[in-house]
Structure 1
Amino acid sequence: MILQGNDPHRAPSFSLGHRVRRQVWNIVYVLLFRTSPRPFHGWRAFLLRAFGARLGKGVHVYPGAKVWAPWNLELGDHVGIADGTTIYNMALIRIGRYSVISQGAHLCGGSHDYNSQNFQLYAKPIVLGEHVWVCAEAFITLGVSIADGVVVGARALVTKSIAQPWTVHAGHPSRHIGQRTHRSPEHAA
């Protein structure tokens, strides 16, 4: 998907086919997704699926959410993606069942290699477990995995994977600040 060794000042970073697909999605996003009424979750799920997203049942993606590439999006059942969220999924972003991504959160699956002469673009997946809550304006970087039940506090910066389930992380950069006491029935000890 990402062209290697190109000069980004003079040439595109993606193949022509990819750029055309993204432009068609952008047109659909602006005309049909973004303008849809807030309660029309099924309509937006239909549009995302039409562009290759793999979505579970009961998914609520709000019209103000920005999805860069639906074909790189996988949502489990009953996932909520709030207005103002950015899903910059140059690589796969997978979000487990019953997870919530709050307003203004940014899941960033791509970056540039600042040590390469051409600032080579690269991407890595982001994987969030089940019952994860990414609070308002939190930032999750590429290559991060987050265990089941984790809460990422508002405006937190997550640059490393979080392996311990049912914990709370906050700060810039994020750090462990507590345990969750309420767990879903299937995860109760």
Structure 2
Amino acid sequence: MIIEGNDPTVEPSFTLSNRLARQLWNWVWLFLFRPSPRPMHAWRAFLLRAFGASVGTDVHVYPAVRIWAPWHLEIGNNVGIADGVTLYNMNRLRIGDYAVISQGAHLCGGSHDYNAANFQLIAEPITVENHAWICAEAFISHGVTLPAGAVVAARSVVNKTLQASWTVYAGVPARPIGKRTQHEH
């Protein structure tokens, strides 16, 4: 998918098939996903599945969620993803059961190797475990795993895997600030 060793100033960073698939998805998002009424969660789940996403039951993906590559997306059961969320999933993005991603959160699965002569594009998976909550406008970087029950406070930045489950994290970079009561379904 990512072309390595290229000159990104004059050459594409992605294969032609990837660029065509993303263009088709962008048109579907623009004309079928984005304008769909808010309660039509099943319709949006259908569209995501049609583009290769794995989507569980009782999933609420709202119409203004931006998804870069549905074929890299796995969403568990009873998940909510609010309007304004960006899922920049150039690699696998797994969202576990009962997870919530609040408005404006940005999950960024890619970056660049700033030490490479060609500023090589890189992509790593992101995993959001069961019962995690990413609050409004939080930023989650590539290669990060959020443990079960973790809460990432509003506008926090997570740039490395968090270790403690059922813990509240806040700040830039996010650090543990408290514990969360554990609830399992």
Q: TM-score, normalised by structure 1?
A: 0.97
Q: How many residue pairs were aligned?
A: 185
What residue is the counterpart of 1:35 in the other structure?
A: 35
What CA distance in whole angstroms lies between the structure 2 residues aligned with 1:99 and 1:185?
A: 12
User: How far apart in 1 are the matches of 2:184 and 2:117?
Assistant: 51
User: Which amino acid in the other structure matches residue 144 of structure 1?
Assistant: V
**1:133-179 deviation per Cα after TM superposition (whole angstroms, max 9, x unaligned):** 00000000000011100000000000111121100000011100000
Q: Which residue does 1:69 correspond to in 2?
A: 69
1:111 equivalent to 2:111? Answer yes
Tell me the residue number matched to 1:12. Answer: 12
In structure 2, runs of 5+ residues without a counterpart are none
- Per the alignment, in what secondary structure is the counterpart of residue 19 of structure 1? helix
Q: What is the 5 A alignment of 1:173-188?
A: 173-181=173-181, 183-185=182-184
Q: CA deviation at 1:69?
A: 0.2
Q: Within 5 A, what are the aligned runs for 1:1-189?
A: 1-181=1-181, 183-185=182-184
| Cα distance in 2 between the residues matched to 1:114 and 1:174 | 23
Indicate the RMSD between aligned Cα atoms, in angstroms: 0.7
* Cα distance in 1 for residues equivalent to 2:101 and 2:134: 5
- SS for the counterpart of 1:185 is coil
AA of the residue aligned to 1:107 = L
What whole-Å deviation, never above 9, does each CA across 1:59-97 have from its counterpart, x for those lacking one? Answer: 100000000000000000011110000000000010100
| TM-score normalised by the chain length of structure 2 | 0.99
CA distance in 2, matches of 1:51, 1:3: 22
Q: Cα offset for 1:45? A: 0.2
Q: Stretches of 4+ moved more than 2 A in 1? A: none
> 2-side partners of 1:134 and 1:156: how far apart?
9
